[in-house]
Structure 1
Amino acid sequence: MSTLQFPTRLPADLLVELGELTGIRWNSWELEPIICEAIRRYMHPPAAPAREQTSTTSDAGYQWKQVYLPDGTRLRASFGGQPHFATVTGTEIKSGDLALTPSGFANLYGSGNRNAWKAVWLRFPGNEQWVLADVCRAKQKAAIARLFGGADDVAAD
């Protein structure tokens, strides 16, 4: 490899920052290979790691008004202090052998007048966080409003 000998000017604050990052003083010749490698990586960035594709990717899921629950979404509701669970399987919400609507699940063990948006928590595939269905609905309504030019009034359900 040939080396061209000509001065290159770099801002002192950039060299100080690089020195702090590497632990090498900014006025040291030891920074040269680090600077060269940074330039090479800028010109030829490493390939992004291939995203893992699952063979079970599908469009199956349950459409609950504005909120889409993809296949594998978990639902949780508590009845008398006991948690109960359901799962979106294909295009149905299943609790055991029962296929239910979100309202049916919310009222499965209750008095029959629970609001599913306020009683059901959701955990989407690949996510460990449980989110109240009503929060998902509010976020989706806001996204829909932005999509249509920030309309303040999205049709109520």
Structure 2
Amino acid sequence: MQIEVSLPVYKALTEMLRHEDDSYDALLRDILEIDSPQEPELPRKKNALLDAIEHSLGPDLANYRRAVSGPGFVSRSLYLPDGTSLRARYKGRQYIAKIDGEKWVDHLGNEQSSPSAAAHEITGTNVNGLRFWEAQFPDHSAWVRLDRLK
């Protein structure tokens, strides 16, 4: 699909992009307050050795990543370094959080114990927090859904 816009509109949109990895689709979703699309989950390539290592480490995998990479938030096998920004969109509203001092701090300044707990705080219902939240690591411009980080 192609959408035609005038050159001044194109220039104005381009100036609003914060990072070169940002897309016009994401920018327009923010402007129009449209929820982020839930991409279909891509099948993971099978690697028997890596699967065996991840399975044997289980929850310790995130602790290993923290030990190697430095301070950050750990929830099961998810590790997010300090300084990570988080965002989610629900019912047309964007919510933000951050990882600070090895804690998940939500948009109200409250500490959350997990991505799902943070999502529940917003929606009032049980939600898979790994599919609800996107993360932007310190010094990176791309956003990635948490379920892709495990």
TM (norm. structure 1) is 0.48
TM (norm. structure 2) is 0.50
> Which structure ranks higher in relative contact order (CA pairs < 8 Å, sequence separation ≥ 6)?
2
More helix by share: 2
Q: Radius of gyration: which is bigger? A: 1
